[in-house]
């Protein structure tokens, strides 16, 4: 029986080779919850027809290289395409979750203007000085110790004479 996996092409940088990410659901017995695990396989793509984002079925075959023992059997679903309205070019888009490096390269004109304004902002020196009022710090005075006019020796002698300690 041959192993068949369905996954998403994540890289086509090598000649006649694609990297396919296969998702697998595994039960985590500690928390009693299903968790999604991913494994990346290198697969042989003889016709080099796969592009990033394609959903493909890979099939186990003889070992073709050190890391490659799968071959692309079929493209189940091609990557999404969209037509750029300005240039009219058709481009494929990789459906990704989370951070995308290509999204960071696009210029955001509004953000650039906002950052430029912040960098060039210089507050008015006269207005800043007028608003600031400072008080001079003075440490509070140390309270004086209470004066003891009580004669403790005489009180202790009378206490001892009453016999309270002898009992």
What percent of the chain is predicted at pLDDT more than 70? 77
* The predicted structure's pLDDT at residue 131: 60
Strand bridging mode 33-44 / 68-77: parallel
SS3 70: strand
Taking the model in full, what pTM does it have? 0.51
Domains of the chain: 4-93 (2.40.50.140)
Tens digits of residue pLDDT in 72-97: 999 999 988 777 777 877 776 555 55
Tell me which DSSP letter residue 2 carries: -
Tens digits of residue pLDDT in 27-63: 999 999 999 999 999 999 999 999 999 999 999 999 9
CA 31 distance to own-chain centroid: 23
**In the predicted model, what is the mean pLDDT of residues 120-130?**
68
């Amino acid at each position: 029986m041959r192993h068949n996996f369905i996954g998403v092409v994540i890289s086509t940088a090598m000649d006649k080779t694609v990297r396919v990410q296969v998702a697998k659901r595994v039960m985590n017995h500690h928390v009693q919850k299903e968790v999604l695990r991913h494994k990346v396989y290198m697969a042989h793509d003889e016709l080099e027809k796969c592009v990033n984002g394609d959903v493909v079925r890979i099939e186990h075959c003889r070992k073709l290289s050190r890391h490659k023992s799968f071959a692309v059997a079929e493209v189940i679903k091609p990557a999404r395409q969209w037509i750029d309205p300005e240039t009219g070019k058709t481009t494929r888009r990789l459906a990704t979750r989370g951070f995308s490096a290509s999204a960071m390269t696009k210029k955001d004109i509004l953000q650039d203007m906002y950052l430029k304004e912040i960098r060039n902002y210089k507050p008015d020196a006269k207005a800043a000085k007028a608003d600031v009022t400072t008080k001079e710090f003075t440490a509070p005075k140390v309270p004086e110790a209470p004066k003891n006019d009580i004669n403790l020796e005489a009180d202790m002698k009378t206490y001892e004479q009453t016999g309270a300690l002898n009992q």
